[in-house]
C-alpha cells in the first residue's frame, strides 16, 4: 500500500449532490467545480510552500556541513604546508607515543521518531482515527495487562527484537559452554 505524503484536496470536484431547490443545475455544478478548483490550488500552494521549505532546510544543512568540511581541509592544508621532512626527523618511538586518531562522527539515533516526521506526514497522521478506548476495560482484566496493547502496541517490534537478541546471546553462551566442556582436559 503506497504511503501518500501530500494529497491535494478536494479530490472529487463535480461529485456533489444538487439540491432540488436549485433552478439552474448547470450553473450550480459549474460554481461548485470552480470553488473546488480554487481549494485545490490553495492546497497545492500550501504543499509547494512545504516542499520549498524542506528544500531550503536541506540546502542550509548541506551548506553548513560543506563549510565545516572546508574549514577542516584548510586547517589540514596549513599543517601539511608547515611540515618539512628535510628539517624535522621523527623517530618511530615518537610516532608510537602520539595519540591515535579518533573520529568525531556523530551517529544518528532514533531517525524515525515523532520529531523527525515531515509536517505533511504529521498532518496525515493527525487526521487518522484514534484507537478505541480499550484502556477503560483494563480494570476488568485479571492479568493486569493494558487492553489497548492487544489492539495497538508501539513497542511491540522493539520488544520482539530485544527478545530475539537475548535468545541469540543465550544460544552463543550455550555453544561456548559446550565447546569449553568438550575442549577441557578433564573430558578426555
DSSP 20-63: TT-S-HHHHHHHHHHHHHHHHHHHHHHHHHHHHHHHHHHHHHHH
Residue 100 pLDDT exceeds 70: yes
pLDDT of residue 117: 83
Q: Is 164's pLDDT higher than 90?
A: yes
Alpha carbon distance 165, 61 (integer Å): 36
Are 135 and 146 contacting, i.e. CB atoms less than 8 angstroms apart?
Answer: yes
Are 29 and 39 contacting, i.e. CB atoms less than 8 angstroms apart?
Answer: no
Do residues 161 and 181 make contact, with C-beta atoms less than 8 angstroms apart?
A: no
Which grid cell is 89?
Answer: 626527523
pLDDT digits (tens, 9 = 90+) for 49-61: 999 999 999 999 9
Name the least confident of 34-38, 72-76, 98-102: 98-102
Percent of the chain with pLDDT over 90: 37
What is the 3-class SS of the chain, one letter each residue?
A: CCCCCCCCCCCCCCCCCCCCCCCCHHHHHHHHHHHHHHHHHHHHHHHHHHHHHHHHHHHHHHHHHHHHHHHHHHHHHHHHHHCCCCCCCCCHHHHHHCCCCCCCCCCCCCCCCHHHCCHHHHHHHHHCCCCCCHHHHHHHCCCCCCHHHHCCCCCHHHHHHHHHHHHHHHHHHHHHHHHHHHHCHHHC
**pLDDT band of 167, cuts 50, 70, 90:** very high
- pLDDT, residue 38, reads 96
Model confidence at 72, pLDDT cuts 50, 70, 90, reads: very high
Do residues 40 and 6 make contact, with C-beta atoms less than 8 angstroms apart?
no
Q: What are the distances in angstroms from CA 167 to CA 48, 132, 160?
A: 49, 34, 11
- How large is the average pLDDT for residues 150-163? 86
What are the cell numbers at 187?
573430558
Q: What percent of the chain stands above pLDDT 70?
A: 93
Q: Quick one: cell of 101?
A: 586518531
Model confidence over 114-145: pLDDT tens digits? 788 888 888 888 888 988 888 888 888 888 88
Quick one: pLDDT at residue 185?
A: 64
Give the model's pLDDT for residue 86: 67
Instruction: Report the pLDDT value the prediction gives residue 50, as an integer from 0 to 100.
Output: 92
**pTM of model > 0.85:** no
pLDDT for 104:
77
pLDDT tens sequence across 19-31? 889 899 999 999 9
Amino acid at each position: 500500500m503506497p504511503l501518500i505524503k501530500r494529497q491535494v484536496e478536494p479530490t472529487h470536484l463535480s461529485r456533489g449532490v444538487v439540491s432540488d431547490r436549485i433552478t439552474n443545475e448547470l450553473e450550480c455544478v459549474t460554481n461548485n467545480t470552480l470553488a473546488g478548483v480554487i481549494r485545490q490550488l490553495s492546497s497545492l500552494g500550501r504543499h509547494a510552500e512545504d516542499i520549498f521549505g524542506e528544500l531550503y532546510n536541506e540546502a542550509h544543512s548541506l551548506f553548513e556541513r560543506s563549510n565545516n568540511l572546508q574549514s577542516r581541509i584548510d586547517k589540514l592544508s596549513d599543517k601539511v604546508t608547515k611540515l618539512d621532512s628535510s628539517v624535522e626527523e621523527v623517530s618511530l618511538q615518537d610516532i608510537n607515543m602520539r595519540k591515535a586518531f579518533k573520529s568525531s562522527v556523530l551517529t544518528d539515533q532514533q531517525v524515525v521518531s515523532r520529531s523527525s516526521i515531515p509536517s505533511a506526514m504529521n498532518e496525515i497522521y493527525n487526521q487518522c482515527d484514534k484507537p478505541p478506548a480499550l484502556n477503560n476495560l483494563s480494570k476488568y482484566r485479571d492479568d493486569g495487562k493494558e487492553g489497548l496493547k492487544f489492539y495497538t502496541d508501539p513497542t511491540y517490534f522493539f520488544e520482539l527484537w530485544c527478545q530475539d537478541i537475548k535468545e541469540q546471546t543465550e544460544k552463543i553462551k550455550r555453544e561456548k559452554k559446550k565447546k569449553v566442556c568438550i575442549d577441557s582436559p578433564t573430558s578426555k
